[in-house]
Structure 1
Amino acid sequence: MLEIDSLSKRFGGLVAVDDVSTRIEAGKINAIIGPNGAGKTTFFNLISGAHLPSSGRIVFNGEDVTRLGADRMARLGVARTFQSTALFDRATVLDNLIVGHRLRTQSGLWDVLLNTRRLQQEERVCRDKAREALDFVGLAALAQRLAGDISQEERKRVAFALALATEPKLMLLDEPAGGVNPEETEGLAELIRKLVKHGITVCLVEHKMNMIMKLADRIMVLNYGRKIAEGTPAEVRANPAVIDAYLGSEHAEV
């Protein structure tokens, strides 16, 4: 689905991502791990269009998207969540989600000023898509709750729903289980499996290694911006370079 060839990003003298090549496989759960400062979030920023690469090439479903911005990538079907879920806390959960489908709509300023039939139809579609996304992530009962009144785990699920409302083909999840307890982590892992069962490819960055080793089909390991390993969870867990740089001996296979 996504081919990355010799991708690099420099910020002045700092090389945040250094000549990384990899493939994100369709229909799979792909993971990126590594120490803090390894370049994981910058890598996500590059493939989502938030940053333009200094060099290298990105191909999405056969199309060269290397120089496309985040809005174009979203329209092509790449959705992104963030480590911290920013919501409009004084709006309802449903109203927070309605914005997600707007990138699929055509209404402009004149439609708003004249309250056209097209605007009214698109508003109904956006609301329906928001409800569908909330139901998918298990939060239908919270539609009319203020976003500021929901828990951290529920905010994580709302972030999933917001990405879903954009009708993605690929979802990039940045620490989707950050700040939640083990039981909630397992629930979010099940939600990720559900996404894949419904035809959405997933790539995630996460520090919870027990979750990643059970969940991922393929793992890429970054350290100081460079790829140091890639493979199945078993292959990565047994890789001496990964053990030394990140996992530690407690994660090595016996």
Structure 2
Amino acid sequence: MLEIRHLTKRFGGLAAVNDVSTTVERGKVNAIIGPNGAGKTTFFNLISGVHKPSAGQILFEGTDVTQMRPDQVACLGVSRTFQTTALFDMATVLDNLIVGHRLRTRSNLWDVITGSARLKAEERLCREKARAALDFVGLSHIGHRMAGDISQEERKRVAFALALATDPKLVLLDEPAGGVNPDETMGLAELIRKFVRHGITVCLIEHKMNMIMSLADKILVLNYGEKIAEGTPAEIRRTPAVIDAYLGAEHADA
């Protein structure tokens, strides 16, 4: 689904991502792990168009997206969440989600001024998509609440719903379980599996290794911006370089 060829991003003399080649496989949970500062979020920023690479190429379903803007990449079907979920806290949860499907609408200023039939139809569709996304993530009961009043775990689920509202093919999740307790982590892991069951490919960054090892089909390991390993969870557990750089002996296979 996604092919990365020799991707590099330099900030001055620092190579945050250095000559990384990999693929994101359709219909699977793909994970990226590594120590803090390994280049994981920069890698996501390159894929989603937030940063332009210093070198290399990014292909999404065969289309070169290397120099595309974030909105153009999103229109092709790549959505993402961020480590910190930024919402309009003084708006309702449902109103926050209505914004997500605007990516797929065509109404312009003239439609707004005239109150056109197209505007009204698209507003209805955005509301329907928002309600469907809330239902998907199990939050239909809080759609009326102000976003500033919901819990951290609920904010994480709203982030999933925002990504879903854009009609994605691939979702990039940046630390989706950060800041939530173990029971909530299990619930978010099941939500990720639900995404895949419904035909949405997932690529996530996460530090919770128990979650990753039980969830991921494929893992890419970065360290100092470079790929040091790639494979299944079982293969990653047995890789000495990964154990030394990140996992530690407690996560290694006996």
What is the TM-score when the length of structure 2 is the normalising length? 1.00
Aligned residues: 254
**Corresponding residue number in structure 2 for 1:101:** 101
- The DSSP-based 3-state class of the residue aligned with 1:10 is strand
- Structure-to-structure mapping, 1:130-149, within 5 angstroms: 130-149=130-149
**Corresponding residue number in structure 2 for 1:17:** 17
Q: Distance in 2 between matches of 1:238 and 1:250?
A: 12
**Corresponding residue number in structure 2 for 1:226:** 226
Letter in 2 for 1:251: H
- The DSSP-based 3-state class of the residue aligned with 1:196 is helix
Q: Structure 1 residue 115: deviation in Å?
A: 1.1
Letter in 1 for 2:98: I
Structure 1 moving runs of 4+ over 2 Å: none
After superposition, give the CA deviation of every residue in 1:3-34 in whole Å (9 maximum; x if it has no partner).
00000000111100000000000000000000
After superposition, give the CA deviation of every residue in 1:107-159 in whole Å (9 maximum; x if it has no partner).
00111111111101100000000000000000001110110111000000000
Q: Distance in 2 between matches of 1:158 and 1:65?
A: 27
Unaligned runs of 5+ in 1: none
- Please tell me whether residue 114 in structure 1 is matched to residue 111 in structure 2: no
Give the aligned CA root-mean-square deviation in angstroms.
0.4
**Corresponding residue number in structure 2 for 1:176:** 176
After superposition, give the CA deviation of every residue in 1:162-203 in whole Å (9 maximum; x if it has no partner).
000000000000000000000000000000000000000000
After superposition, give the CA deviation of every residue in 1:23-78 in whole Å (9 maximum; x if it has no partner).
00000000000000000000000001111110001110011111111000000000
Q: Structure 1 residue 250: deviation in Å?
A: 0.7
- What percentage of residue pairs aligned between the two structures are identical? 76
Q: Distance in 2 between matches of 1:242 and 1:63?
A: 32
Q: Structure 1 residue 227: deviation in Å?
A: 0.2
Q: Distance in 1 between matches of 2:46 and 2:85?
A: 20
Q: Distance in 2 between matches of 1:174 and 1:181?
A: 17
Q: Distance in 1 between matches of 2:42 and 2:176?
A: 16
Q: Distance in 2 between matches of 1:225 and 1:109?
A: 44
Moved more, 110-119 or 15-24: 110-119
**Corresponding residue number in structure 2 for 1:157:** 157
Q: Distance in 2 between matches of 1:133 and 1:226?
A: 36
- The DSSP-based 3-state class of the residue aligned with 1:82 is coil
Unaligned runs of 5+ in 2: none
What is the TM-score when the length of structure 1 is the normalising length? 1.00
**Corresponding residue number in structure 1 for 2:244:** 244
